[in-house]
Amino acid sequence: MHSLLIVLGLLVSATSFALPHLDLEMSSEEYRLHLKDLSQKKSLGPDDPSIAASIKLGERLSQWIAKINSSRPTDSAIRLTSALTRRGVPIAAPSIYSPSIIKAGAEKILADFPQAMRSVITSDEELPATTGIDDETFIKNARLLDRNYQSAARYKSVNAYRMEYVAAASEDVRGYYYLTQNKIGKEELKEVTSISEDQVNPIKDALSKICLNAHSDTLENCRKKVESAFSKNSLANFYSKYFPGAEKNWNKFFLIPANGRRSDVQWTDAIMTVPFNTPSIAKFLPYLQDNIEDEFRFGNWNLKMNFGTFNDGPRLVFQAGVVPHVDGLGGNQIVMDSNQPIEEYESKWTIRHEYGHVLGLPDCYHEFYDTNLEAYVNYQLDTTDLMCSRAGNMKERIYTELKKAYGK
């Protein structure tokens, strides 16, 4: 088993770049485009019946909304997402999904649906051009089914890479998070009899997870080691052995790596200037300025985009039906989906987030396959952070990391 874990660890390190670049709050339209692209590049195999059923329901809902909106003015169109509906995936309340969970979710949603919606969604008859009920009720229920579709689409997207996601379980940061949030360190673990009864199991679980961060053992064996240390009253030594590795694992989700630092940034106390190739289409220049320069500011400091022509500078590229991405941390090519209107909230958030990658900032969310739960688990390390969540923004920690990387 140890050999298998080491192989899996090497596998995720060597091939993680090949995993789908999927942030945790993709819209349903982004999932549809990704599944279409993925089916052309990789054999996905037959769908689990529960996954196929939820995807069919979600696609019918999307077609229904499109038909409703085709006869409405833009300002009264049915919209399921906005800046106000973003909630993130908190580390304390992770998303857990599998065929059985998705199936149960779909069944409950349909059971609670207003009859006017359920009769349309579950039939194959021609879709009506109206909601049949008030918009508020329609949107409230449609969001639930849409999120169920997203879970099914995500499962289909990631399941072809299950072994890599199994290996990624060793990078689960929740043990480190629990210990630091509750201020539990070596001193608090010196005497096990002083640990309150309600904290014993959470602390054991957290210590098992930081042991797993060492990439050298299974969670089952880590739990056995914790039990042994608890019985011997040596939890403090256990903590000292594994906490540094867990801290390093946590930090990699936030720190700009040396190979992600740009060499063309100019920094002063008030301004960070970064070159950018002037877009060939005029409307994209204010799109970049209004979003990026508005986001990357803190106190009296702000980022300034220096537009011009640069052989080795950042540029904006549009392609139809792609999941937005950058060609690596510190990369130069931001690829956006040409099918997504730049006026939409999703596009505005995405260009801000992807530009963070141009500056070398990594994603701060995590996803893995839990073999005990037989389900995928994902969460964002900080839902208030631009690089973690669509609900997040620029914050002091991003400014501090940029200053550390580029300030002279």
277 by DSSP, 3-state: which? strand
Rounded distance between C-alpha atoms, residue 198 and residue 125, angstroms: 55
21 by DSSP, 3-state: which? coil
Tell me the pLDDT tens digit for each residue of 130-163: 999 999 999 999 999 999 999 999 999 999 899 9
pLDDT given at position 42: 65
pLDDT given at position 7: 36
Q: What is the mean pLDDT of residues 378-393?
A: 95
Rounded distance between C-alpha atoms, residue 36 and residue 39, angstroms: 5
The structure tokens listed for 59 are 């696609």
The structure tokens listed for 136 are 């508020």
pLDDT given at position 217: 87
Whether 2 has a pLDDT exceeding 70, the answer reads: no
pTM of the model: 0.89
- Higher model confidence: residue 322 or residue 138? 138
Whether 401 has a pLDDT exceeding 60, the answer reads: yes
The structure tokens listed for 355 are 């530009």
Whether 83 has a pLDDT exceeding 70, the answer reads: no
Residue 318 has phi, psi (to 5 degrees) of -115, 135
Whether 11 has a pLDDT exceeding 60, the answer reads: no
Rounded distance between C-alpha atoms, residue 175 and residue 366, angstroms: 13
Rounded distance between C-alpha atoms, residue 183 and residue 189, angstroms: 11
Determine the residue type at 5. Answer: L
Rounded distance between C-alpha atoms, residue 176 and residue 173, angstroms: 5
Model confidence at 265, in pLDDT bands (50, 70, 90)? very high
Q: The tokens 């301004």 sit on which residue? A: 271
The structure tokens listed for 310 are 């640069």
Q: What is the mean pLDDT of residues 25-48?
A: 80
The structure tokens listed for 372 are 């005990």
Q: What is the mean pLDDT of residues 2-31?
A: 58
Rounded distance between C-alpha atoms, residue 346 and residue 310, angstroms: 28
Instruction: Kindly tell me the sign of the dihedral angle through the C-alpha atoms of 405, 261, 340, 291.
Output: positive
Interstrand relation of 315-319 and 333-337 (parallel, antiparallel or unpaired): parallel
367 by DSSP, 3-state: which? strand
Model confidence at 237, in pLDDT bands (50, 70, 90)? very high
Rounded distance between C-alpha atoms, residue 241 and residue 234, angstroms: 11
Written as one string, the DSSP assignment of 373-394 is TTEEEEEES-TTBTTT-TT-B-
pLDDT given at position 1: 39
Q: What is the mean pLDDT of residues 187-198?
A: 95
**Of 391, 347, 339, 383, nearest to 365 (Cα)?**
383
Whether 46 has a pLDDT exceeding 60, the answer reads: yes
pLDDT given at position 365: 97
Residue 195 has phi, psi (to 5 degrees) of -80, 125
pLDDT given at position 111: 97
pLDDT given at position 12: 38
Whether 10 has a pLDDT exceeding 70, the answer reads: no
Average the pLDDT over each of 37-41, 78-82, 204-208, 379-383 and give the range with the smallest value.
Answer: 37-41
Is residue 111 a contact partner of residue 194, using CB atoms and an 8 Å limit?
Answer: no
Rounded distance between C-alpha atoms, residue 312 and residue 333, angstroms: 10
Cross-strand pairs, 275: 306
Strand order, beta sheet including 266-267? 266-267, 271-277, 301-308, 297-298
**Of 87, 182, 91, nearest to 368 (Cα)?**
91
pLDDT given at position 15: 36
Q: Which domains does the chain have, with CATH numbers?
A: 2-165 (no CATH), 174-251 (no CATH), 258-361 (3.40.390.10)
The CA–CA distances, whole Å, from 300 to 265, 296, 303, 334 equal 18, 11, 10, 27
pLDDT given at position 16: 39
pLDDT given at position 87: 78
Average the pLDDT over each of 97-111, 180-194, 258-272, 315-329 and give the range with the smallest value.
Answer: 315-329
Residues in the chain: 408
Cross-strand pairs, 368: 377
Model confidence at 82, in pLDDT bands (50, 70, 90)? low
